[in-house]
Structure 1
Amino acid sequence: MKKCTFLLLFFLIFTMNTKAQIEYNRFGIEAFGGITTSYMDATNDNLSTVFGGALHYNPSPFSFVALDIQVGTLQAGKDADLRKFKNNYSSYSVTYNLGLGDFLRNNATTWRRVINDIYIGAGVTLIKNDVAEIKPFDYTTSDGTFTEGENFDGTEYSFPVQAGINFKYRTKKGKVPFAINLHYQFNFSFSDILDGYEGSPGNKKTDWYSALWLGVNYYFGPTKIYYRAPK
């Protein structure tokens, strides 16, 4: 009787401390395309396009470090506006993205898996600008009349904050070969020249822009076992 009680107690303790195992790949590669929006000196913000690719390093099944390259366009203004520009840019970003699954307990239900794969992130971006289509803007101050607007070909830094979700495809054996990625990124810049306009003297406004894209993430490389407490 004592032996049966001991075995039962041991089984209960073992069961309570058992952790779910998730096997995942350490790397991923993504191709994406989407739209950009500029928040700059020119009004009537126009949507434009962005395309790119990214390499991911996955410290867990939910979080990842991303190195991404974007090629896109930022533009705003119409012919009747005082300001109008078009910036054909390329950028290179490093971001760390923290998945909610690292804080939530593992659960096999579909809705919990979706929540686990939501992430937020931040990092740094080097953006190479090519402002080639710009409308000069004249303004007058007590010091005289000046013309604003120039073709700008240079590099600046911006700081992206972002959020997204990976809709993962799972095989019958629980493997995840790829995922559909929905991603939103907002870029804060400390520069006011991304649109070719630096503004009148005393202007402290800086240029911001955002990107929204849909991508396909393919997972590859060595696998690792991730242990999680089940719910």
Structure 2
Amino acid sequence: MKKFILFFVLAAAGFTVKAQEGYNYYEWGVGGGIGYGRAYADTKRQDYHPLYNLNIAYNFNPYVPVALEYQFGTLSGGGLTPDKDAYGRMYKNAYKALLLHADAQFGSFIDYSNNGFLNVIKNFYVGTGIGAISNNMKFIQRGNPPAFSDPSNSYYHGPLGTKEGFQGKDKSINLVLPLRFGYEFKIYDSYDQVGYTITLGYEHNYTFGEGLDGYDDPPAKFKNNAPDQYAHFTIGFRYNFGNTVSYNKLIRDFGF
């Protein structure tokens, strides 16, 4: 009789574990990524550079990671000839940023059970957040280059800077509003939980200020239609770990 009861208990436990396969997810994730992007600032030309990030994420559920991200890279633009900037401005910003953002994937809102198409699109996401960027000009052209100093020169285009040079700060901090969208590829481990993710995404960042290019000249004299911005395409990798949490929908759907 005791053996029968023990067999029943073990069988029931095994059934419960089996029933949970595909429903569980890890609570935390850590990862990084590399992107390629540019600024949208005041100079005519903007250069493309690789950008990098490290992040730690709290998985609110399998489809809503909330991440604290440290981002760094280079933004540059302008040049000493009018084809690169009408006033001869030029800058190189070695920036660092700290962002807190959340991404909501379609899987949070749709019933994708036993549907191959919905199981594919469930991993698309949109997101936003808030953060701050620290701007550090490694190079900036404050005065007019020689080609611009003489109005009779064929390179001369538009007004010159003031006697003190072009206005702005070499170092500054601005608030950042990121807008994000992309797709997350989920890689399952032996427990049918999302052990790893690979993300392809695009991020456009609006800054509240004029610090990205180091120039803050009077808009009445220098065309300036919008706050400084920067954007990049990125590929990211994340390793998930920590407590196992149950979700109310099957994450890994074997029905298609």
For this structure pair, what is the TM-score category when the shorter chain's length is used for normalisation?
0.7 to 0.9
What residue is the counterpart of 1:3 in the other structure? Answer: none
1:207 pairs with 2:228 = yes
Secondary structure of the 2:165 match is strand
In structure 1, C-alpha distance between the alignment counterparts of 2:204 and 2:101, rounded to whole Å: 12
1:225 pairs with 2:246 = yes
Which stretch shows the higher mean deviation, 116-125 or 99-108? 99-108
Structure 1 segment 55-204 matched on structure 2, within 5 A:
55-80=56-81, 81=84, 82-107=88-113, 111-136=117-142, 138=144, 139-140=159-160, 147-149=165-167, 152-171=170-189, 173-202=191-220, 203=224
Alpha carbons 1:27, 1:55 under 8 Å: kept:
yes
In structure 1, C-alpha distance between the alignment counterparts of 2:211 and 2:61, rounded to whole Å: 39
Q: CA deviation at 1:110?
A: 5.4
Letter in 2 for 1:56: A
Per-residue CA deviations over 1:126-182 (Å, capped at 9, x if unaligned) read 1111012112355359xx766215551121111111112111112465222101111
Identify the structure with the greater strand proportion: 1
In structure 2, C-alpha distance between the alignment counterparts of 1:201 and 1:44, rounded to whole Å: 18
What residue is the counterpart of 1:41 in the other structure? Answer: 42
TM-score by length of 1: 0.81
Letter in 2 for 1:50: L
Secondary structure of the 2:194 match is coil
In structure 1, C-alpha distance between the alignment counterparts of 2:129 and 2:243, rounded to whole Å: 26
Letter in 1 for 2:174: E
What residue is the counterpart of 2:52 in the other structure? Answer: 51
Letter in 2 for 1:155: I
Alpha carbons 2:105, 2:126 under 8 Å: kept:
yes
Q: State how many pairs are aligned.
A: 212
Alpha carbons 1:134, 1:150 under 8 Å: kept:
no
Alpha carbons 1:52, 1:70 under 8 Å: kept:
yes
Letter in 2 for 1:160: P
In structure 2, C-alpha distance between the alignment counterparts of 1:179 and 1:111, rounded to whole Å: 20
In structure 2, C-alpha distance between the alignment counterparts of 1:210 and 1:94, rounded to whole Å: 16
Per-residue CA deviations over 1:2-33 (Å, capped at 9, x if unaligned) read xxxxxxxxxxxxxxxxx996211111111111
In structure 1, C-alpha distance between the alignment counterparts of 2:193 and 2:22, rounded to whole Å: 12
Q: Percent identity?
A: 26
In structure 2, C-alpha distance between the alignment counterparts of 1:70 and 1:193, rounded to whole Å: 16
Change (3 A) 1:199 1:110: farther
* Superposition misfits of 4+ residues, deviation over 3 angstroms: 108-111, 137-141, 201-205
Unmatched 5+ residue regions in structure 1? 1-18
In structure 2, C-alpha distance between the alignment counterparts of 1:160 and 1:61, rounded to whole Å: 22
Cα RMSD, aligned residues only: 2.7
Alpha carbons 2:135, 2:211 under 8 Å: kept:
no
What residue is the counterpart of 1:8 in the other structure? Answer: none
In structure 1, C-alpha distance between the alignment counterparts of 2:59 and 2:26, rounded to whole Å: 7
Unmatched 5+ residue regions in structure 2? 1-19, 145-158
Q: For the pair shown, which has the larger CA radius of gyration, 1 or 2?
A: 2
